[in-house]
Amino acid sequence: MFYNDKWQLFSVSFNRYLSIRITRFRKAYLTGQHQETMNYNHLFSKIYDELGKTDDSGEVASYIPELKNINPNKFGVHLTTLDGGHYSFGDSDEKFSIQSIAKVLALVLAYQLENENLWDRVGVEPSGTPFNSLVQLEYDKGIPRNPLINAGALIISDILVSHFDEPKKQFIEFVRKVSGLPEMDYSTRIANSEKSAGYTNAALVNLMKSFGNIRNDVDEVLDFYFNLCSIEMTCKELSRTFLFLADYGVCPFKNEPIISTSKSKRINAIMQLCGFYDEAGEFSFKVGLPGKSGVGGGIIAIHPDKYSIAVWSPRLNKKGNSIRGMKFLELFTSETQASIF
């Protein structure tokens, strides 16, 4: 189906949303099942105790100077269910740098603007290489494997810079809308810190420019990208912001469509296959949910039709993913016996 105006997209999306809601309600009514029966708070502390027995010998990200200052022992989790449940544990109300998790929000906006043309400039295949790999990009002639590795997110940044008169302002307004949090903003401190040491990202964007896949000035694209990655949220805010991906693209607390049902499913598919770089298979295998990590130690994971869960623990493994965050989610989906598979 071809949507030629925004209103048509929203009304088709909304009708689909209503029919999904009705089906869900009937299913729950017929089977007598309700999500609220689970005592998540008790489960969180049980899993946290279990985590204490596992290895957390990783390091906080140090290639971005500001991230070195974070207390590595922080730990927070927040789960938001579609039926309005909120469950927290630990440092869930403390802001942290969401870093690459923000790439998903930029992708959502670019996909909405470009539709399927987006895929002429970036792929949808797992990379199997580190998030900032240059080797693969040269091999692929400047077309990044997917939008969640750095090269791919730089292409998405270039697209947003082309689309908007005031790209940073218009992007943060989108994040405010999706999160329902009008005070949400970039951290100039973190963006400047990353800029001061962002040589690899500069190399990636220049390489893609040489292949003709960057349309704007490289410094403008990098500035947008560093600001994108600098956004700070608490686990609670992060989980709330991403809830629309558990609800077929509709922001549940506003009943407002953010993206079409089909696109929402595709974004989840990309997270499932690419959200953890060369550890995406491991996350899929052990956790079984679409998700995205960031080098600030955060992870967001989505259970379509049920919930979104954000975990934060700053020590990272060699692949740049939070060690205790991944382990927590593995134990969580094992205990609840609910994953997408």
Q: Is 237 in the site for ligand GLN (CB under 6 A)?
A: no
The string of DSSP codes covering 203-237 is HHHHHHHHTT---S-HHHHHHHHHHHHT-EE-HHH
Separation of alpha carbons 263 and 9, rounded Å: 11
Contacts 24+ apart (CB under 8 A), 11-15: 12/260, 13/249, 13/250, 13/257, 13/259, 13/260, 13/261, 14/250, 14/257
Q: Which helix (H) or strand (E) element contains residue 335?
A: helix 323-336
How many amino acids of this chain bind ligand GLN (CB under 6 A)? Answer: 11
Residue 227 in tokens: 């600001």
For position 223 contacting ligand GLN by CB under 6 A, the verdict is no
Residue 36 Cβ vs ligand GLN, minimum distance, rounded to whole Å: 33
Nearest-approach distance from CB 107 to ligand GLN, in angstroms: 14
Least spacing, CB of residue 239 vs ligand GLN, in Å: 18
Residue 329 is a binding residue for ligand GLN (CB under 6 A): no
Residues whose CB falls within 8 Å of the CB of residue 74, separated by 6 or more in sequence, listed in order: 90, 91, 94, 96, 297, 312, 313, 314
- Of 82, 214, 295, 299, the one binding ligand GLN (CB under 6 A) is 295
Residue 278 interacts with ligand GLN (CB under 6 A): yes or no:
no
Which is closer to ligand GLN, CB of 100 or CB of 241? 100
> Residue 309: in which H helix or E strand, if any?
strand 307-312
Nearer to ligand GLN, 228 or 287 (CB): 228
Chain position whose Cβ is nearest to ligand GLN: 100
Closest to 300 (Cα-Cα) out of 269, 331, 276, 273? 276
The reply to whether 100 sits near ligand GLN by the rule CB under 6 A is yes
Binding mask 191-220 for ligand GLN (x = CB under 6 A): ---x------x-------------------
Q: Is 229 in the site for ligand GLN (CB under 6 A)?
A: yes
What would you report as the CA-atom Rg of the chain, rounded to the nearest whole angstrom? 19
Residue 294 binds ligand GLN (CB under 6 A): yes
249 binds ligand GLN (CB under 6 A): no
Contacts of 304 (CB under 8 A, 6+ apart): 245, 246, 248, 265, 268, 290, 340
User: Can residue 99 be called a binding residue for ligand GLN (CB under 6 A)?
Assistant: yes
CA 281/CA 253 separation, integer angstroms: 32
Token output for 14: 């909304």
Q: Based on CB atoms, which residue is closest to ligand GLN, 58 or 294?
A: 294
The 14-43 site mask, x for binding ligand GLN (CB under 6 A), equals ------------------------------
CA gap 319, 130 in Å, rounded = 7
The smaller minimum CB distance to ligand GLN, of residues 237 and 247, is found at 237
Distance CA 150, CA 156 (A): 10
**Of positions 44, 87, 89, 131, contacts ligand GLN by CB under 6 A:** 131
Cα gap 336→84, rounded to integer Å: 18
Rank residues 252 and 314 by Cβ distance to ligand GLN and give the closer one: 314
State which of positions 132-171 bind ligand GLN (CB under 6 A). Answer: 132, 150
Closer residue to ligand GLN in complex, CB, 159/251: 159
The minimum distance between CB 194 and ligand GLN, in angstroms, equals: 5
Q: Which residues bind ligand GLN (CB under 6 A)?
A: 99-100, 131-132, 150, 194, 201, 229, 294-295, 320
